[in-house]
Amino acid sequence: MLTGVASPLLSASGLGMIRGERVLFTGIGLSVEAGQSVVLRGSNGAGKTTLLRILAGLTRPEAGEITRNGAHHWFAHREGLKPHETPRTHLALWAKAWGSSVNVDDVLARMSLKRPADVPARYLSAGQRRRTALGRLLLEDRPIWLLDEPYTALDSEGRALVLELIDHHLSNGGGIIAAIHGESGFVPANEVVL
Amino acid sequence: MSPAPIFSAFRQALGEAWAGGAGALLPLGFFAGAAVLVPLGIGTDPATLRAVGPGILWVALALSSLVTLERIFQADTEDGALDLWLQTGAPASAIAGAKTFAHWLAAGLPLALISPLLALMFQAEASADLLRNAALYGLGGLAFYFWGGVGAALSATVRRGGLLISLIALPLYVPTAIFGALAMTDAPGSDSAPLFLAASTLFALAVAPFAMAAALRLAAD
Q: A5 falls in which pLDDT band (50, 70, 90)?
A: low
- The rounded distance, in Å, linking the Cα atoms of A127 and A100 is 25
Shortest CA gap A49–chain B (Å): 12
Cross-chain residue pair A96–B7, CB shorter than 8 Å: yes
Q: Which residues in chain B have Cβ-Cβ distances shorter than 8 Å to A77? A: 80
What mean pLDDT is reported for chain B?
91
Instruction: Give me the phi and psi of B162, to 5 degrees please.
Output: -55, -45
Cross-chain residue pair A81–B79, CB shorter than 8 Å: yes
CB-CB contact of B165 with B148 (8 Å)? yes
Q: What is the pTM of this model?
A: 0.91
Residue type, B180: G
Is residue A78 within 8 angstroms of chain B, CB to CB?
Answer: yes
In chain B, which residues have pLDDT < 50? Answer: none
How far out from the chain centre does Cα A154 lie?
A: 15
Q: HSE of A103 in the Cβ direction (CA atoms, 13 Å)?
A: 4
Query: Which of B5, B9, B81 is nearest residue A80 as measured by Cβ atoms?
Result: B81
Residue type, A166: I
Residue A80: DSSP 8-state: -
Those of residues 61-90 in B touching chain A at CB distance below 8 A are 75, 78-81, 83-84, 86-88
Q: Which residues in chain A have Cβ-Cβ distances shorter than 8 Å to B75? A: 82
Residue type, A102: V
B21-32 pLDDT, tens digit each: 556 788 899 999
Which residue is closest to A89 within chain B, CA to CA?
Answer: B12
Best of A54, A55, A78 to disrupt the B interface (most B CBs within 10 Å) is A78
Three-state secondary structure string covering B54-114: HHHHHHHHHHHHHHCCHHHHHHHHHHCHHHHHHCCCCCHHHHHHHHHHHHHHHHHHHHHHH
> What is the full DSSP assignment across A116-132?
TTTS-GGGS-HHHHHHH
What mean pLDDT is reported for chain A?
90
- The rounded distance, in Å, linking the Cα atoms of B49 and B55 is 10
B93-105 pLDDT, tens digit each: 999 999 999 999 9
Cross-chain residue pair A84–B15, CB shorter than 8 Å: yes
Is residue A57 within 8 angstroms of chain B, CB to CB?
Answer: yes
Domain layout of chain A by residue ranges: 1-71+143-194, 80-141
The H-or-E segment that residue B209 falls in is helix B193-220
Is residue A70 within 8 angstroms of chain B, CB to CB?
Answer: no
Shortest CA gap A82–chain B (Å): 7
Per-residue pLDDT at A6: 61
Is residue B12 within 8 angstroms of chain A, CB to CB?
Answer: yes
Residue A62: DSSP 8-state: S
Closest by CA to A49, choosing from A80, A25, A20, A81, is A25
Closest by CA to B153, choosing from B142, B144, B143, B164, is B164
A64-113 pLDDT, tens digit each: 999 999 999 999 989 999 989 999 999 999 999 999 999 999 999 999 99
Q: How many CB pairs under 8 A join A and B?
A: 67
Residue A1 reports pLDDT greater than 50: no
Tell me what percent of the residues of chain A surpass a pLDDT of 90.
Answer: 78
CB-CB contact of B143 with B174 (8 Å)? no
For the segment(s) A1-71+143-194, the CATH number from 3.40.50.300, 3.90.1300.10, 3.10.110.10, 3.40.50.970 is 3.40.50.300
